[in-house]
Structure 1
Amino acid sequence: MKVFKISVILVVLSCGFSTNVLAQNKAESTKRPNIVIIISDDHAYQAISAYGNNLVQTPNIDRIAKEGVLFNKGYVTNSICGPSRAVILTGKYSHKNGFKDNENSRFDGSQDSFVKQLGASGYQTAWIGKWHLETKPQGFDFWQILPNQGQYYNPEFDMMDGSKKRNEGYVSDVIEDVSENWLNNRDQEKPFCLVIGHKATHRTWIPDTQDLGKFDTVTFPLPANFYDNYKDREAAKVQDMSISTTMQMGYDLKMFGGENEANKDGNIARMNLEQRQKFDAYYSPVEADLKAKNLSGKTLVEWKYQRYMRDYMSTAVSLDRNIGRTLDYLDKNGLTENTIVIYLSDQGFYLGEHGWFDKRFIYEESFRTPMMMRYPGVIKPGTVSNNFVMNLDIAPTMLDAAGVSIPKDEQGQSMLPLFKDKKAKGRDAIYYHYYENGEHSVSPHFGVRTKRYKLIRFYKRVSSWELYDLQKDPNEMHNLYGKKGYEKITNYMNLQLKKLIDQYDDQDAKQLLKGD
């Protein structure tokens, strides 16, 4: 078997590294790929030019796809920040790794992770940036993480010695600076796994000062279902994540109504004088114009949408720029041909579809996530994959690439056979389970998606079923559950759902179905 010199670089929101190192021949270890995982936060696939958005340009994210594979069907198991990172680390669904939601869960760092497995096999490991798992990282040689959600300006970091450190600058730049510093000082005799966890593009979408106004000349078209009435979709009716009523003029859109109110916002108050002057110089005229227009009704709602999109996309500019810095670092240091680079978001995000922002639902915009991977010598440049892949698959894929045995209790699948074996067959269906029953009033639910259909079971806040024909109804507007003529499809999808519940041993879902 030919051995390629490969470096694996994954940019992800969270990652773990172990300090246990098995004795290994130095020459052998240098043949193993490095890994860089880059994870963004709430970055929608709809906001990436590689996925067809012509109003924005993400050249550096696109570069990873052009030089590797673009996954058109990348999905998550549970569309919310902390749980997604836990799944990436462990290769297990939320009910197996124990981190089900952001309200009641704390990550048990003593459990196994792909980073610990890599560390035990000779890798040097690090997690830098957003972590958001309520406990400190375990099993890494190095970590430096943002407390909780972190801040956009002059962010504070939790350090390994228990101290806190404030770094002047914009968060995307700072995270990249720390990452490059670690790469400069790592043990170059060992392969490495670096997880870069970016805060961008998480709410409240505060751009770097150099990116303010980047999209002010762009008018973003309203999604076709922006004014969705949620007919026959009970869970959608009770959610609290709409641009019209939930999005806040001050907190989200920086229309504070005065300097004193702006000073009460911690994100704004922590800016230094130069940052604050640039911030005020941009947003003050926007707010003055808004007051002069005295908007109301749909006109105001659509104004809020345009401001949301302009801030969100401008925040993403710094994310893409710093991903470019990561790629440039690899180029300049002769690591590109020996490194795997993976980019993904912790989940998808709503950019006005159904009138929403945020995530959580199994509907496509939050269930589906951007994902691309560059693996020189293994993945042909310019590859486009329509196979179902999940964040669940990151852990086994990295272990497979590193030549480490995949633990039997990991529930994901290595993606590498899709590129090495022409006969390899991907998934026919994927499973999802969302648990949180608090913020944004999204009802817990689980469901299954096949290539054409999606079946959903909501519980707790709302008890209902939904069925969609994604071929005829890609925007998921028409609930077919219980409709005449769909009995056979419903029965088939129920069987698929039960099959995956059994496969992944989801006892909570199994008990709920017993009552139906």
Structure 2
Amino acid sequence: MKYLTLYIFSFLLVLSNLANAKSRNEEQPNIVFLFADDAGYADFGFHGSKVMKTPNLDKLAKEGVIFTQGYVSDPTCGPSRAGIITGKYQQRFGFEENNVPGYMSKNSAKDNNDMGVPVEEVTMGEYLQKLGYATSYYGKWHLGGADKFHPTKNGFDEFYGFRGGARSFYPYTEKNKPHDELNYLERGFGNFKEHEGYLTDVIADEVVDFIERKHAKKQPFFAFVSFNAVHTPMEATEEDLAQFPNLTGNRKIVAAMTLSLDRASGKIMDKLEELGIDDNTLVVFSNDNGGPTDKNASDNAPFSGTKSNHLEGGLRVPFVAKWPNKFKANTKYQFPVLTLDLLPTFYAAGGGDTKDLNSVDGVDLAPFVIGEKAGRPHEVMYWKKDVRATIRVGDWKLIRFPDRPAELYYVPNDIKEVKNYAAQEPERVKAMFKQLFEWESTLERPRWLLQRKFENMDIDRMDKYRWKNADSKQSSSQISIP
């Protein structure tokens, strides 16, 4: 009788656990992260563009929340992605520079394959796997080319994309194969095979297939959709180019590439609606850094700056989230947020306790968006590259340079960063310098550095593009602070 009772109890416990797991899966939202590459802040209809055609992303913005101050943790591809995938400032584990040829690892000479997110870091995919999610990654990885850094070894059940930082949107052949094998298209681990057609469209098809398969199994899913659009090379289909007869040069091409990005995003969102699961899916759209206006003719208006520098045009990105029955549609969230916040937001949405996260710097945005928490998600935000660094405390932003005095801006009244208050606010500058130094003292040394004598390339780019989008009618004398 004792063993029979124990058996019945164990059986009932198993049934209860299964029921709880089923209930949790039914309640867990699916998560889709649509992620653009090198897009300009102004190049979307929901940000006011009258040139670009982005009806699907505009619809997403209308049905969701626009974060008007969405920031990346770095204005370049690799470090920004390292921050997103871990929820941490990437400098904390030495991922300070872009992991591209021309840089040298302190441990492994010139092999940029060994430049990646340390495998001991817990990724967004790994956290969601723990909650029972089916996880997948599509498109550009750029977080380490060596096998140990591969998506399928770091939290993603499925991978369809390329390990490197940039590649053609059309299939490679023997005649035009890339020098860098990291940019071949790969399905899963080690299965390299080029696609047919235009890659942005192909990625959408792959994501749709994943959604259909996981929905059929009633398993909650997470799809990280890392488009390489609108990064160079500047390539678009003839059909998309024909939609912009009044544009020329790279501006015409980037418009066509943006159209394909929007179409692909729409195809994914349409599938969610077709399957009747859009009401239980959290969809986020963002971008990895400010547009490189000199490379792909992107537009970062109304901000000064471009990819690679610490002006607003390099750091502020489109950031939209739709979560039906949770986030109020057609609204705007005004306080600054970081793409580091995506990991804890996704984890909490899936039923996880953010206290279980391993010392992340991001926060769960949901309580702030729905009004459960007041105030700013981040009172202080940091950026750093070599000796150049930036700190934002509240609405004050200090930029430190290696070769000239720091600059201080009051962002709300000076989004173009033309009025430098450093001379007028010496005590504020001193306090912000101290706070920046204290943060830097907690960081790991960079794992790799550019092998050249220090040149102020990024600083020159900052000056060059400081006035690119500036309104000539606004003078520094017209800018004031409360």
1:464/1:207 Cα in 2 relative to 1: closer, same or farther (>3 Å)? Answer: farther
Task: Measure the CA separation in 2 of the matches of 1:469 and 1:121.
Answer: 42
Mapping of 1:350-365 within 5 angstroms?
350=293, 351=298, 359-365=307-313
Residue 46 of structure 2: SS of its match in structure 1?
helix
| Aligned residue type for 2:425 | Y
Which digits, 9 at most, give the CA deviation of each residue in 1:411-462, with x for residues without a partner? 11110111333542214644232437xxxxxxx5211124543201123xx4
1:366 is matched with which residue: 294, 314, 318? 314
- Alignment-mate amino acid for residue 320 of structure 1: D
How many Å apart are 1:95 and its aligned residue?
A: 1.6
Return the offset for 1:314.
1.8
CA distance in structure 1 between the partners assigned to 2:413 and 2:30 by the alignment: 43
Match of 1:440 in 2: none
Question: Closer, same or farther in 2 for the Cα pair 1:316/1:352, shift >3 Å?
Answer: closer
Partner of 2:171: 154
Q: Residue 396 of structure 1 corresponds to which residue in structure 2? A: 344
Within 5 A, what are the aligned runs for 1:35-74?
Answer: 35-74=31-70
In the alignment, is residue 381 of structure 1 matched against residue 391 of structure 2?
no
Alpha-carbon distance in 2 for matches of 1:508, 1:408: 20
Structure 2 match to 1:112: 122
Equivalent-residue separation in structure 1 for 2:242 and 2:419 (angstroms): 38
SS in 1 for 2:236: coil
Q: Residue type matched to 1:153 in 2?
A: Y
- Is the contact made by 1:431 and 1:500 (CA closer than 8 Å) also made in structure 2? no
Q: What one-letter code is carried by the residue in structure 2 that aligns with 1:421? A: G
Which of the residues 414, 419, 426 maps onto 1:487?
A: 426
Q: Distance in 2 between matches of 1:114 and 1:463?
A: 39
Select between 73-82 and 53-62 the one with higher mean Cα deviation.
53-62
Task: Using the TM superposition, name which of 141-150 and 464-473 deviates more.
Answer: 464-473
Matches within 5 A, 1:201-350: 201-218=230-247, 307-349=249-291, 350=293
- Tell me the residue number matched to 2:366: 416
Amino acid in structure 1 at the alignment position of 2:66: L
Matched, 1:457 2:400: yes
CA contact 2:52–2:258 (8 Å) conserved in 1 = no
> In the alignment, is residue 475 of structure 1 matched against residue 405 of structure 2?
no
Structure 2 residue 144 is the aligned partner of structure 1 residue 125: no
CA separation in 2, counterparts of 1:204 and 1:53? Answer: 23
Q: 1:427 to 1:47 in 2, by over 3 A?
A: same
**Mapped partners of 2:212, 2:53: distance in 1:** 30
1:192 aligns with 2:185: no
Equivalent pair of 1:466/1:479 in contact (CA under 8 Å): yes
1:466 and 2:407 equivalent? yes
Residues 217 and 342 of structure 1: CA distance in aligned 2, closer, same or farther (over 3 Å): same
Work out the CA distance in 2 between the residues paired with 1:193 and 1:75: 22
Contact 2:87 2:343 in 1 (8 A): yes
In structure 2, the partner of 1:76 is: 72
CA contact (8 A) 1:126 1:194 kept: yes
How far apart are 1:85 and its partner, in Å?
A: 1.4
With normalisation by structure 1, the TM-score equals 0.70
**What do you get for the CA RMSD once the two structures are aligned?**
2.7
Match status 1:446 vs 2:383:
no
Residue 16 of structure 1 corresponds to none
SS at match of 2:342: helix
**Structure 1 letter corresponding to 2:168:** Q
Matched residue, 2:176: none
| Residue of structure 2 in register with 1:99 after alignment | 95
Deviates more, 1:46-55 or 1:360-369: 46-55
SS in 2 for 1:35: strand
Q: Name the structure 2 match of 1:237.
A: none
User: Quick check: 1:361–1:434 contact (8 Å CA) kept in 2?
Assistant: no
Match of 1:435 in 2: 385
What do the CA deviations read for 1:149-177 (whole angstroms, capped 9, x no partner)?
23211264122241211111111101111
Partners of 2:207 and 2:200 lie apart in 1 by 11
Q: Is the 8 A contact 2:25 2:219 kept in 1?
A: yes
Distance 1:323 1:426 in 2: 30
Q: Distance in 2 between matches of 1:106 and 1:34?
A: 28
Whole-angstrom distance in 2 between the partners of 1:506 and 1:112:
18
Contact 1:131 1:197 survives alignment (8 Å) = yes
Deviation at residue 213 of structure 1 after TM alignment: 4.2
Any conservation in 2 of the 1:87–1:97 contact (CA below 8 Å)?
no
Shift of 1:463: 5.5
Q: Which 5+ residue runs of structure 2 have no aligned equivalent?
A: 1-16, 104-114, 173-183, 447-482
Counterpart CA distance in 2 for 1:388 and 1:499 is 22
> Quick check: 1:180 aligned with 2:180?
no
C-alpha separation in 2, matches of 1:48 and 1:473: 22
TM-score normalised according to structure 2 size: 0.74
- The aligned counterpart of 1:34 is 30
Q: Deviations over 1:75-121 (max 9, x none)?
A: 01111111111111110011224422223532223421222121122
Identity of aligned residues (%): 29
Single out whichever of 201-210 and 65-74 deviates more from structure 2. 201-210
